[in-house]
Amino acid sequence: MKKNLFVTGFALCIFCNTWAGGLLTNTNQSTHFLRNPARGASIEIDAAYTNPAGLAFLQGEGFFFSINNQSAFQKRTITTTYAPFAGYGGSATKVYEGTASAPVIPSIQAAYKSGNWTLSGEFAVTGGGGKATFNKGLPSFESSISLLPSGITQLGGSIGGLMPGATLTADQYSVNAYMEGSSIIYGAQLGGTYAISQHFAAYAGFRMNFVNNSYVGHLLDIKTNPTSNKPDLLGTGAMISASAYFSALAQMQGLPDDFKNQLLARAASTADKQLDCSQTGWGVTPIIGIDFNYNKLNIGLKYELNTHLNVENKTKIDGTGLFSDGVNTPSDIPALLTIGAQYAVIEPVTISVGYHHFFDANAKMANDKQKNINGGINEYLAGVEWRINKLFLISTGGQITRTGVTDAYQSDLSYSLHSSSICIGGAVDITKNVRINIGYLYSFYQDWTRNNPNYAGTTPALPATEVFGRTNKTFGAGVDFWF
């Protein structure tokens, strides 16, 4: 059985972004994004993340703050058709669902403006942010186990050579598979903005990223139904522990040593396996930006450099023997370019557009998965805000995301999909210096179908068809205040 699939699944499947943004980057770091995602030219306090150079054009001087909480909920669906799956439930097609939830995702943006200088900072969940649970494991886990009946039947052919006339077959299996993991990247950003002239400003800063992942899971009670015409082969047709069965066969008298060792290896591979591991790491992201402001037009540009980052295993239980304590795995945060523009068409209405590009192919990933990415993710954004009166503002917008991954990148362990998102929300100016923001985002994902000619690496090859799907919704509320 492919034991490495168990641990690799945890390392990759859970370590995925649960919000809007790239493979490891959350771009919705405040409620402002949920009501209008095209924030690349913002000159409000959320610009501390979205357009830090634009903070030079904040209205007034003094201290500015934004405190937010978001709640994100995601479901991943993997539909796999693989002939051996029929041995567990009778159908070759199985649907695996994973749910991820993050009810509390706080963030804070802050700035102090005085003259031509603005000092700003931010603390947010810049990547990940949720806990994902797969109550039935993943198809890649089960694919190896599903070969157990055919493996016993092949074993019966070998035994027939040792015991003339003996038969040994199986056609069913079962397993208790479970995995749960959480992945969070906390980001603490600090930088300064300088107004070069009446219309131009520049920013330089950095973000400290702290990774905290945890994975818990198991493969338990692997069973099959060996059937034999010889009592010595213990095959009654009942579902029994596969590991115990192979161990019992290995005790038979007169077996060649190599055959006995083969049985003991099968017993070990089908024994219970558990995992309890956490990962930590940190890295620094340099950030630069410029902003142009003229009359009713504002244009912002930000570039976040690639973040070199490794995560280190802190393992309590590793029944696989493949998740060693202290081992480091590369997990760079890709560089990000954002460009945005906003224009006040008429006094109460402002339109905005934006573009994001994640340089995923240049970021070092586990198992060199970046080699299966063409360029990176591209996002196209647009939004509109309408100030109804002095108290109320409503806004809406959308985002189109086109992933750069190839078919070779996609698997149930880690996949990325094309999507379209809609956002809606508004703001209420409670007082002259206090504003409440609310917003909602919903993402529609395009299913990705992958045909794998040799799903489990067997000889002869057995094909499989995988369909990857996903849904995502996020709610948010926050308060801006300044003095």
Q: Dump pLDDT digits (tens) for 252-262.
A: 888 888 989 99
Are 442 and 476 in contact by the 8 Å Cβ rule? The answer is no
Q: What is the pLDDT of residue 296?
A: 95
What is the span of the domain harbouring residue 129?
4-482
Name the residue type at position 393: L
Q: What is the pLDDT of residue 19?
A: 55
Q: Which residues of the chain are modeled with pLDDT < 70?
A: 1-21, 322
Are 170 and 148 in contact by the 8 Å Cβ rule? The answer is yes
Structural domains counted in the chain: 1
**pLDDT tens digits, 258-284:** 989 999 999 999 999 998 999 999 999
Q: Considering the entire predicted model, what is its pTM?
A: 0.89
Q: Give the CATH number of the domain where residue 79 resides.
A: 2.40.160.60
Largest CA distance in the chain: 95
- Going by their DSSP bridges, the two strands 464-482 and 328-330 should be labelled as unpaired
